Amino acid sequence: MERKKNRIAVLLSGGGTTYQHIQERLAAGEADVETAVVISSRADAYGLERARSFGVPAFVVPRKEFNQHGDAAVAMFNRAMLDIIEPYKPDLIVLAGFMCLLSPEFVDRYRGRIINTHPALIPAFCGHEYYGDRVHKAVVEYGVKVTGCTIHFVDEVYDNGPIILQQAVPVYDGDTYEEVAARVQAAEKPLFFEAIKLFSEGALEIRGRKVFRTGGGTER
């Protein structure tokens, strides 16, 4: 009997290069995983075109249309995404460059089944104000010698969930933030795919704030 593939729902907000890396490796059969649906928080996100080129259903839930203040806007935006996602019955939600906070309702619905990537070694250079190039600029300005990337489970707080995988990346004297960003992104994409693969193999277990390997997967 053929083994059932894990189904992922991908949320994104921009160009979708991380999603492209994941989808190409799935298309090559590198994991028993299929993308069920892609949702973007922006109508102009090129990640939507990437999804459609792979024949993956792609939808827009424009964050800017939910212009109420505070928690009400977050809740309504997230419910609109859930209405699209739930019929696809995903096993895992993958945030691939998704720039919006998930609501407590969304997190509760898929707790322990939402993963994200952050372009630094959490708990350094993380939290609400640290995203995109802001992270790499802060790394260069602070003068650290090592940065990296972190794949983690998602909770209700930015960059706060249990850490799945991390990879260090050197920062050299004289580096620009663009050079640091390129080095981190080169490490980040395959690390993210590895986390998805480990999850699909049932090889991850959350115990409190820690994530443990429980079998399966490829040792690093």
> Helix, strand, or coil here: 111?
coil
Q: Which residues pair with 95 in a beta bridge?
A: 11, 116
CA-CA distance, 153 to 160, in Å (whole number)? Answer: 8
Using CA of residue 15, residue 179, residue 24, residue 32, what is the dihedral sign? negative
Neighbours of 26 (CB within 10 A): 21
**Nearest by Cα to 138 from 124, 118, 149, 154:** 124
CA-CA distance, 48 to 108, in Å (whole number)? Answer: 26
Does the annotation count 118 as an active-site position?
A: yes
CA-CA distance, 75 to 101, in Å (whole number)? Answer: 10
Annotated catalytic residue: which of 21, 69, 118, 152?
118
Q: Identify the residue whose tokens are 């997190």.
A: 107
Task: Take residue 174 and report the two structure tokens written for it.
Answer: 């004289």
Residue 201 φ/ψ, nearest 5 degrees? -90, 5
Using CA of residue 61, residue 62, residue 63, residue 66, what is the dihedral sign? negative
Q: What are the residue numbers of the active site? A: 118
